[in-house]
Amino acid sequence: MQERPSKLVFWMFFGGLILIVAGNMADYYVSGSHIGTILTVVGFVVWAILLVMKFFYDKKNK
């Protein structure tokens, strides 16, 4: 059971990183478009959800 959350956390972290990098690349190559900004914001939102989930998970296990 301990294996499952860590894998989910890893993929969410990785996905957030990819979204942020892709957003910055889109901003660089497609000027005047909001796609890059949206991707970056979504990436950071994923990371924020991760932090909240980790906080509650740690609280529950204490």
pLDDT in tens, 14-48: 888 898 888 888 877 776 667 888 888 998 998 89
pLDDT band at 1 (very low <50, low <70, confident <90, very high): very low
Q: Where are the domains of the chain?
A: 3-57
Structural contact between residues 3 and 23, judged by C-beta atoms closer than 8 angstroms: no
Is the per-residue pLDDT at 7 higher than 60? yes
Rounded Cα distance between 9 and 62, Å, is: 19
Between 48 and 10, the higher pLDDT residue: 48
Give the CA diameter of the chain: 48
Rounded Cα distance between 41 and 21, Å, is: 11
pLDDT score recorded for residue 55: 81
Between 60 and 4, the higher pLDDT residue: 60
